[in-house]
Amino acid sequence: MAITRRQFLKTAIGAGVALQVPGVLLHPFSARPATGPIREFRFSASRAKVNLGRGPDFVAWTYNGRVPGPEIRVKEGETIRVFLKNLLPQETTIHWHGLPIVNAMDGVPGVTQAAVPPGESFVYEFKARPAGTFLYHSHVEYQLDQGLYGPLIIEPAHDPGNFDREYTLMLEDWVMKDGGGVAATRRRSPMGRGMMGRRGFANKGGPLLEPVYDGFAVNGKLYPEIEPLMVKTGERIKLRLINPSSSTIYTLRLAGHALTITHVDGNPVKPLRTDVLRIGIGERYDVEFKADNPGYWLLSAMERGGGEGQLRIPVRYKGSQPTEPVPPVFRGPLRFASYADLRGKLPDESPSMGKVDRAFRQILSGGMHSPYWTINGRVYPNAERLVVKEGDRVRIKYWNRSMMPHPMHLHGHFFRLVNPAIPPDTWVLKDTVIVDSMQGMEIEFVADNRGKWFHHCHNLYHMVAGMANTVVYA
């Protein structure tokens, strides 16, 4: 038997990295030996010169010298192992956004691990499941806004889906002035300094002001330098839309076509046809469209008044003229997919029937007379702990008392969007939800993944300015 296992591991590990593998592979942080194929990736986090296709070169913070970082693409059930080498001048971590993995691998400094110091290494290892569209990013301060993010795609083990071609699109916000995205973001609130001592905030001088973004790139390129998505008439096209932006929510439409939403935050939904789609920070939407309207079209965002830096993705049929692509129009009677229209496809294994073990109310506030953003009036790390017990069915009821939308993200779990109008087992399963200004939102999750989990607004500038707390298992 030993020989069989050794042969198996030899093939499973694949080319590239030679490792001495003992009889049982036991990761220092995992209680169980890894099973199934292991997929290894080597990431070095370092500063590197990048160019978004327009504007000057600038120094971004990168994985392997590129923005976005390399795509991780594996099959469901495989084990992902990432060797991270930190060549940055600051400590860093990687968070695997949306994946309900073992707590110690979740990559939140001070919550699940000590951040990796400059010059040091760390090995992340976790099971790739479930299948779906995810992303990874640094969870240290403003590093995500400096370029430290990338796509993470888990393909289904069996049913690959019914499409002919797929594209992964990272929708990124950048600051173009002052030579790029990094230096220009270093504006601090004048209110920040005085409050530092009182609040005990770690960041010297208080949190940074949200920059004014003026470049919206896709996979590291600004229009018109983005390669058009080539399609052939008759094909079914799948787009994996991922929003790793630091503070931008996009409202999108593809000219000449309707989109069918098939997955949100990695989870399958009943196919929903729509003209317009809104994607919050940290959210993912898988959409499909039938290539049945030949021409040269744009998939664009509505916001920002159509300026130079607007988000635009050209979609070009083979054989069409490469002239000016046709932009979408956002007027008229359009279908606009909202959360309430979505129906989850995964049955709830133990539907609550109205029984909730624990409920928390979270008031989201800040931004008006303070540089800080708060949950129930508190600034992380001086924040609440939402204490749950394993097996609990937990409700979180948000109310957004501020003038900004807050895409709230819970680590380590999927939650359902509570919708009293439909049966609970069709409530859509997500990990990030936009709570709009002066609106409420309620989520429910089962406490089935022990640990201490970060829970926060995914607007990076709100998160670092305090809008975060933890869900802790008793």
**One character per residue 208-237, x = contact with Cu ion (rule: CB under 5 A):** ------------------------------
- For the bound state, the minimum distance from the C-beta of residue 438 to Cu ion, rounded and expressed in Å, comes to 14
The residue among 268 and 466 lying less far from Cu ion, judged by its C-beta, is 466
| Options 241-249, 298-306, 439-447, 455-463: segment touching Cu ion (CB under 5 A) | 455-463
Give the tokens for residue 188.
């601090």
Contacts of 429 (CB under 8 A, 6+ apart): 264, 265, 267, 344, 346, 414, 415, 416
- For the bound state, the minimum distance from the C-beta of residue 400 to Cu ion, rounded and expressed in Å, comes to 9
* From 462, 464, 466, 470, residue interacting with Cu ion (rule: CB under 5 A): 462
Residues 344-373 close enough to bind Cu ion by CB under 5 A: none
Asked if 435 is part of the footprint of Cu ion (rule: CB under 5 A), the reply reads no
The residue among 137 and 263 lying less far from Cu ion, judged by its C-beta, is 137
* Full DSSP string of 392-421: -EEEEEEEE-SSS-EEEEETT--EEE--TT
- For the bound state, the minimum distance from the C-beta of residue 459 to Cu ion, rounded and expressed in Å, comes to 4
Task: Give the containing element (helix H, strand E) for 27.
Answer: none
The residue among 62 and 402 lying less far from Cu ion, judged by its C-beta, is 402
- For the bound state, the minimum distance from the C-beta of residue 463 to Cu ion, rounded and expressed in Å, comes to 7
Give the tokens for residue 143.
């590093």
Nearest CA to 172 out of 50, 310, 57 is that of 310
- For the bound state, the minimum distance from the C-beta of residue 305 to Cu ion, rounded and expressed in Å, comes to 23
Give the tokens for residue 135.
């992303």
Asked if 430 is part of the footprint of Cu ion (rule: CB under 5 A), the reply reads no
- For the bound state, the minimum distance from the C-beta of residue 100 to Cu ion, rounded and expressed in Å, comes to 23
The b/e string for 216-239 (b: 16+ C-beta within 10 A; e otherwise) is bbbbbbbbeebebbbbeeebbbbb
Residues 397-426 close enough to bind Cu ion by CB under 5 A: 406
Query: In angstroms, rounded to a whole number, what is the distance separating the alpha carbons of residues 413 and 431?
Result: 7
User: How far apart, in Å, are the Cα atoms of 214 and each of 56, 139, 303?
Assistant: 14, 24, 11
- For the bound state, the minimum distance from the C-beta of residue 294 to Cu ion, rounded and expressed in Å, comes to 42
Asked if 459 is part of the footprint of Cu ion (rule: CB under 5 A), the reply reads yes
**CB burial of residue 464 (10 Å; 0-12, 13-18, 19+):** buried
* From 239, 241, 410, 457, residue interacting with Cu ion (rule: CB under 5 A): 457
Query: In angstroms, rounded to a whole number, what is the distance separating the alpha carbons of residues 288 and 232?
Result: 14
The residue among 244 and 344 lying less far from Cu ion, judged by its C-beta, is 244
Total residues at the site for Cu ion (CB under 5 A)? Answer: 4
- For the bound state, the minimum distance from the C-beta of residue 437 to Cu ion, rounded and expressed in Å, comes to 10
| Options 145-153, 273-281, 421-429, 449-457: segment touching Cu ion (CB under 5 A) | 449-457
Helix (H) and strand (E) counts in the chain: 3, 30
Backbone phi and psi for residue 378, each to the nearest 5 degrees, phi listed first: -115, 150
Binding site for Cu ion (CB under 5 A): 406, 457, 459, 462
